[in-house]
Chain A
Amino acid sequence: MNATSEARAPLLEVTGLAVSFATESALISAVTDVSFKVGDGEIVSIVGESGSGKTAALLGILRLTDRRNTKIEGSVTFRGRRLLDLPEREMRRIRGREIGFISQNPMTALTPVHTIGWQIEEQIRVHLNLAHAVARRRATELLDEVGLPNPAKALDLYPHQLSGGMRQRAVIAMALSCNPSLLVADEPTTALDVTVQAQVLELLRRLRLNFGLSIILVTHDLGVVDEMADRVLVMYAGRVVERAPADLIFEDPWHPYTWGLLASIPPLHGERPARLAAIPGTPPVPTDLPKGCHFAPRCRFRFAPCAETPPRQEDGEHAALCFIDPSGRPRLRAQVLNPSSGQAA
C-alpha cells in the first residue's frame, strides 16, 4: 500500500509549521514545529484531543485562518510551490481545485438555500470553467462515485432532505469535483453513526486505491487511524509528540501520551479490565501551557528533566519528543498497556 517514492519530492511537505493567534492581550501559540510529508496515494493521520492544535495545523496549511490576527510560520511545499508565500489569488485556485477539504460537520460546507447539484456544479464551473451541461454531467458522475443512490435525482435535493451520511458523501463529492491530488479531511466521520462511518471510510480507501488520492485525515479515534493511515502524527498541546508509520504507533509506541491514549480505549474483545487506564487531569489550555514538556503534568513517568523542552528522539521515520531513554521504554510502556501482566498484546 505504501506508495512513497523516495526519488521524487513528496506531494506535500510541511516543515516547522507554527500557527499563532493574536488576542487582545497576547499572541497565543496553537501549533508549534509541525513537520511531515505526504506522498502520492498516502494517508497521513493526525490524532489528538480537542485543543491539541490538529485543526489549527490544517487551517494553517490551507491558509484558511484570518490573516489579520494569525501568524503562520514555517514552510508548506505543495507540488513544488511554497503555499505560505503565494498571493491569495493563487491560493484560492489551489484550494478546492488541487486540495479538497472536508469538515466534520457537512452542514458547514453546504448552503441550505441551494440544491446539492447547484453547489457541486458551481465549484466545477468556477475552477474548471466548464459549461453548465458538462458540469451537471460531472456532478452526476461524482454523486454516483460516492455512492449516493439515484444520483440524477439527488442533484435536485436540498441538504435538509439528505441524511447525515448522505450529506457527508455530497461534501466528499464536492471536495473531489476538481480531481484534487490531496484531500484534507477534518474528523470526517465523527458526526456519523458507526455503520455509516464504515461506508464513508470504505469510500475514502477506494478513492485512494483507484485515483491515487493522498489524504490527510484528522481524527481522535485510534480505531479509524489503524484502519486508514499509512503514517501517523500524534499531537498534544500544539506539538507533534510522536510521529511514526502506523504499524509502529500501535506495535512500538514511544511517547507516554500515545500509551495513555491506547490504554484509555475500552477493548471491544477479550477480557474486560476492572478499570480503564485513564490519563489523570485534563489537556492544558493554549493560554496556559506548562513549561518544558507540555504533557509532563499528566505523565506518571515525569522526572526532573521534564521541566525543560524534551529532545526529539529519532530512528528513521519514527520520532518522539520525550526524555525517556529508549532502554527503559519497554518496561515503562508495559506498566501502562499491560498493567496486570507482562503479556504482550
Chain B
Amino acid sequence: METRIVNLKEIVGIIGGRILTKQPKFDTEIPSCGASDLMSDALSFMKPGSLLLTGLVHSQSVRTAEMAGLAAIVYVRGKIPAPEVISLADELSIPLIASPYGMYEICGRLYSAGLDPVMK
C-alpha cells in the first residue's frame, strides 16, 4: 500500500468527521495513524504528531494525547465525550473529531487513502 502524507482537512472529509473543539489548523499534516481503546497501548506505540482513533471518550484519551504529543483524536461510532473533556482538549489545543462510522470502517477508509500505520 502506497503511503502518503494526508492533512487534517482531508481526513475529516474522508471520515465524515465533525470538529468538537475549536477550529484546528486544517493544514496540519498527519504522518501516521493508530487505532486503540487502550491508553497504555496508545502511550506505548503512538508516534508524536500522529492521529488516534478511539472509542474511549473518557478524559484519559485526551490526557494520553497530551502526554504522547498526538496531533488529534477521532472518536468513532458517533461517540461524543462530555463537555468537560472537550474543554480540557481545548485548553491543551488538542483537536477532537467525532465520526459516525465504526472503528473498522474508519481504519479501512484511512488505510485505503494511504495513511501510514504507526508501526515499529
- A and B co-occur in one complex: no
